[in-house]
Chains A and B, each alone.
Chain A
Amino acid sequence: MAILPMERIHLVAMKRDRKSILEMLQRRGAVEVSDIQNEDEVFTKADTATTCGLFEKNAETARSAMEILLKHTDIKKPSLAFLHGREAISVETNDAFYEKRDDVLRDAQRIVQLQRNIAEAKAEQLRLEAGLEALVPWMDLPVPQTFGGTRKTAVFIGTLEGEHNLEGVLAQLAEAAPDLAPLHVEIVSGTKQQTSLLVMSLKKDATRAEDALRAIGFARPPAASHLAPAVQKQRLEEQMAEATKTVADAEEEIRSYAGQWDDFRFLEDHMTMRAEKYGVIEKLAQSAHTFVLQGYIPAGDAPALQQELTDTFLCSVDLEDAGPTGDEVPVKLKNNWFSEPTESVLEAYSMPGKGEIDPTSVMSIFYYVMFGLMFSDAGYGLIMAGVCGFCYLKFRKNLEPNWSKNIRMFFWCGISTIFWGVIFSSYFGDVVDVVSQTFFGHTVSIPPVWFYPMEKPMLLLVFSLGIGTIHLTAGYIMKAVTCARQKDYSGILYDAVFPIAMWYPLILILLGSDMFVTIAGFKLTLPSIVTPICLAVSGVAIIGIVFTGGRESKNWGKRLLKGIYAVYNGISGWLSDTLSYSRLLALGLATGVIASVMNQLGALVGSGFFGVVVFIIVFAVGQALNFGINVLGAYVHSNRLEYVEFFGKFYDGGGRKFSPFGIHTKHYKIIEEETKS
């Protein structure tokens, strides 16, 4: 349980070494670089935002190229990639890639361009298809749709809505323009939706003929071509073939890049790394020939890095104690193998703020215990611990830190779940009983180490509240430790000792009461002297809180009122916080009971081959469902009990996580062999 002490590092070096130094720092991943604020005539800062943006864009190009490759080739993303982590490569491989990065980038850009061509060609195909479709009714028309007529005649080509025959059209026209000489009408084609017509009139009648046609709803075809429909169709088909070929060619070319898959992965990483490096360059102060870098480094890593830097480069490295972590100084946690996995739970809340201690180790014990109590089934625990343990053992070398932590956390949660499952005899609910009774005719039970929760739920309730009381007390002890760390010694008495001294005697009196006997089923006989002593201790604590609960107010009237309110708050807080742990019972019972219900549903069909098949199916589906629901419940409620009930007593957080300048890539990590020698 510790927060690593931090040192502030000041590095001054020659600008010609900048690239090498930064790349080395990036590979070490030990320094968080801070932004140097003050500029003067000598030292200025470079604006690298444009360059950074360019690298990020290139990384995006690599990503797009890979996505396109996935679509067009049979390359498969490996499943469960998170277990395999990033592939390790040597510095030499990295440098070798450096030589060909421009070619690979060009290829990636080409792939993106090809995909764009495909999209355009496909849009073109749609357009051509629509054109061909529109031509269908006109295929029998020997002249272009825009044909206007001959020297003496005017020709109108267009459509009428609905189905019409020749007589109908002529009759309508005669009605629309009675004095007009009869027109020559030809029906080119007709469907239920529309009729395509060619209408011819004398040129001198053209205007009146057009008016008459418009009156009966005649419309010219949209996007009419100046080519005869048959010719136009041929032309469209040629274009169609061309577009199809474009698509096929582009797809073929994209497929030809499949062999460069690894290069593109590398390209993405390379560009991400360089973007990060240029982000750091922006934070440096630079003169004509030198540069200054400031940052934070965990004290333990500092001397080695200092040595390495001064040995390799012409530079000056100064280290100084950075002081308390929290505000400005970033926080890095260090815990043992047992507690470390729950650091991510703490991180999800907040890193320790200024003057606070790292609660991970105390938190982790309660986390595992409470998770196990709520999940509380040996079968489920075995599955969880087994799967996580297997994954960890098999993949631990390459697991990313976050995944490694999660897997180990659920492993320990699984172990705790097995423990509580055995204590309360829950093995996939009551699968042993159900199977033995249904299929073998006589009931076999595994007796619980302690008791069946279903038989004595009140005892389990008392036990849950007891665990809650211990957890809350641990919270007050952590408060005392935090106060001691901040040299606020009166705070220990006021904020930790008084609340405990107020509550514990009351619990003791409650344990001796008749009510407790009916709940827990056993009697705790206390000497008669205990009750008055308890009341006295509690009373003193209450008076203490009345006088100190509002000690930030100078005005005594205000202070006492606040103090009385603090007593009320203290008692109701203890009460509601303790009762909150009844969820340990409720969720623990829920797991076991629903699992048992699933077993009983499965056993409804009875014995026999069919019964066994039904049982296996119902068992597998039901237990999987129950597992999922309850692992979610146990996880979120363990978090809640830590965050609200436990942290509420002493922990505010607000610290900033140490995020060193490093290699934050997706596919590869660079390892240096020479560091070992």
Chain B
Amino acid sequence: MTFASFLDSLGPFFAVAGMALASFLPGMGSAKGVGIGGQAASAVVTEDPSQFGKVLILQLLPGTQGIYGLLIAFMAMINIGIMGGVATISAVKGLAYLAACLPIALAGYFSAIHQAKTSVAAINLVAKRPDQFGKAILFPIMVETYAILALLISLLAVMNIGNMPI
């Protein structure tokens, strides 16, 4: 096997690397995010158990990035053909899948953590003023926007790479 043909055979590897990044980076971010949200939420429930429902929602907000990452990973998996067992794609295409996974991988990881910090602040807000839940939930949602935009680009890219003549 020549070096050039070895390089070209790496297509599936690059694609799977992209899938891995898309699932574990946002997953890590969400795990950390939901974790710190949960600590703040527990503290509130200690004082006022009736706020459980509200703080639970706030805690879960940074959990969506992990789901988005999973979604991209699965979409990539289906598009590459791993589910069917035939994954013969060129190195360029593999790299394209890797690149397509990066938006949700990175934006997902960082937005989950920043969203969690905002969630913690919102949980504190709800603890002090339970009637302001509607506004409190808005602040973490603002952060989520950027995860969704990244998800959108990753999604559209992953879905369209298959049709590219490369």
Q: Which residues of A contact B (CB under 8 A)?
A: 345, 347-349, 454, 457-458, 461, 579-580, 582-583, 585-587, 589-590, 593-594, 597, 600, 629, 632-633, 636-637, 639-640, 643-644
Which of A347, A457, A579, A636 is the one whose CB lies under 8 Å from B137? A636
> Considering the chains assembled together, what is the distance between the CA atoms of A579 and B71 in angstroms?
21
Supposing A349-B134, A457-B155, A590-B68 touch, asked if A597 and B74 sit within 8 A by C-beta, the answer is yes
* Minimum distance in angstroms from B112 CB to a CB of chain A: 14
A458–B153 CA distance with the chains assembled, in angstroms: 11
Min C-beta distance of A45 to chain B, whole Å: 28
Q: Can you list 27 pairs linking A and B with CB atoms under 8 Å apart?
A: A345-B134, A348-B133, A348-B134, A349-B134, A349-B135, A457-B155, A457-B156, A579-B149, A582-B149, A582-B152, A586-B151, A586-B155, A590-B71, A593-B71, A593-B75, A594-B67, A594-B70, A594-B74, A600-B83, A629-B60, A629-B63, A629-B67, A633-B64, A639-B134, A639-B141, A640-B138, A644-B142
**Taking the nearest CB of chain B, how far is it from the CB of A459, in angstroms?**
12
User: B interface, how many residues as a size bin?
Assistant: 20 to 34
Interface string of B132-166 (1 = CB under 8 A from A): 01110110011011001101100110010000000
Q: Which residue of B lies closest to A456 (CB)?
A: B159
Contacts of B70 in A (CB 8 A): 594, 597
Neighbouring A residues of B159 by C-beta, 8 Å = 454, 457
List, in ascending order, chain A residues with CB within 8 A of B142's CB: 640, 644
B71 A594 Cβ-Cβ under 8 A? yes
A643 and B141 alpha carbons, distance in the complex (Å): 11
Do residues B151 and A639 form an inter-chain contact, with CB atoms below 8 A? no
Inter-chain contacts of A636 with B (CB < 8 A): 57, 61, 137, 141, 144
Scan residues 58-113 of chain B and give those whose CB is less than 8 A from a CB of chain A.
Answer: 60-61, 63-64, 67-68, 70-71, 74-75, 83
Q: How far is the CA of A644 from the CA of B155 in the complex (A)?
A: 25
B153 to chain A, nearest CB (A): 10
Q: Name the residue on B nearest A348 (C-beta).
A: B134
B61 contacts across to A, CB distance below 8 A = 636
* Known interface pairs A586-B148, A643-B134, A643-B138; 16 further A-B residue pairs with C-beta atoms within 8 A, sorted by A's residue number: A454-B159, A582-B152, A583-B148, A585-B152, A586-B68, A586-B152, A586-B155, A590-B68, A597-B70, A597-B74, A600-B83, A636-B137, A637-B144, A640-B141, A640-B142, A644-B142
List of 10 A-B pairs having minimum Cβ-Cβ separation, nearest first: A348-B134, A640-B141, A583-B148, A597-B74, A586-B152, A586-B148, A586-B151, A349-B134, A582-B152, A590-B71
Contact B155 A589 (CB under 8 A): yes
B75 with A644: CB separation less than 8 A = no
| Contact pattern, B 35-77, Cβ under 8 Å of A = 1, otherwise 0 | 0000000000000000000000100110110011011001100
> Which residue of chain B has the shortest Cβ distance to A628 in the bound complex?
B60
Q: In whole angstroms, what is the CA distance A639 to B136 when docked?
A: 12
Nearest Cβ on chain B to A597's Cβ, whole angstroms? 5
Complex CA gap A600/B84 in Å reads 12
**Chain B residues, Cβ within 8 Å of A644:** 138, 142
Give Cα A582 to B141, complex, Å: 15
Q: What is the chain A residue whose CB lies nearest that of B56? A: A632
**CA A586 to CA B107, docked complex, whole Å:** 15
Residues on A with C-beta less than 8 A from B83 are 600
Complex Cα–Cα for A590 and B155 (A): 10
| Interface contact A590-B138, CB-CB below 8 Å | no
B155 and A639 form a contact (CB under 8 A): no
Check A639–B74 contact: CB distance below 8 A.
no
What chain A residues lie within 8 Å of B135 (beta carbons)? 348-349
Structural contact, B156 and A632, CB atoms closer than 8 A: no
Write the nearest CB–CB distance from A403 to chain B, whole angstroms. 13
Q: How far is the CA of A636 from the CA of B59 in the complex (A)?
A: 13
Q: How far is the CA of A586 from the CA of B67 in the complex (A)?
A: 12
CB of B78 to closest CB in A, whole Å: 9
Q: How far does the alpha carbon of A589 sit from the alpha carbon of B151 in the complex, in Å?
A: 11
A residues in contact with B75, CB < 8 Å: 593
Least CB distance from A572 to B in Å reads 15
Q: Report the separation of the CA atoms of residues A115 and B57 in the bound assembly, to the nearest whole angstrom.
A: 36
Task: Decide yes or no: A582 and B148 within 8 Å by CB, A348-B133, A640-B138 being known contacts.
Answer: yes
Query: How far in angstroms is the closest Cβ of chain A from B113?
Result: 18
Complex CA gap A605/B155 in Å reads 28
- Nearest residue (CB) in B for A590 is B71
Q: How far is the CB of B34 from chain A (nearest CB, A)?
A: 12
CB-defined contacts of B152 to chain A, threshold 8 Å:
461, 582, 585-586
Residues of A within 8 A of B138 (CB): 639-640, 643-644
CB-based nearest B residue for A641: B141
Q: Chain A CB within 10 Å — which of B67, B148, B151 has the most?
A: B148
Q: Are the C-beta atoms of A583 and B145 separated by less than 8 Å?
A: yes
Q: Which residue of A lies closest to B159 (CB)?
A: A457
Known contacts being A454-B159, A640-B141, is A590 close to B67, with CB within 8 Å?
yes
Contact present for B74 and A347 (CB under 8 Å)? no
B71 touches A347 (CB 8 A): no
Tell me the minimal C-beta distance from A454 to chain B in angstroms: 7
The CB with the most chain B CB atoms within 10 A, among A461, A629, A636, is that of A636
Residues of A within 8 A of B74 (CB): 593-594, 597
Cα separation A633 to B67 with both chains bound (whole Å): 11
Residue of B with least CB distance to A346: B134
Q: Which residues of B contact A349 (CB under 8 A)?
A: 134-135
Which A residue's beta carbon lies closest to that of B68? A590
B56 to chain A, nearest CB (A): 9
**Cβ 8 A contact of B64, one of A345, A348, A580, A629:** A629
A587 and B61 CA atoms in complex are apart in Å by 14
C-alpha spacing A454/B155, complex, angstroms? 10
B131, closest chain A residue (CB)? A348
| B-side contacts of A583, CB under 8 Å | 145, 148
Whole-angstrom distance between the alpha carbons of A633 and B133 in the complex? 16
Q: Which residues of A contact B67 (CB under 8 A)?
A: 590, 594, 629
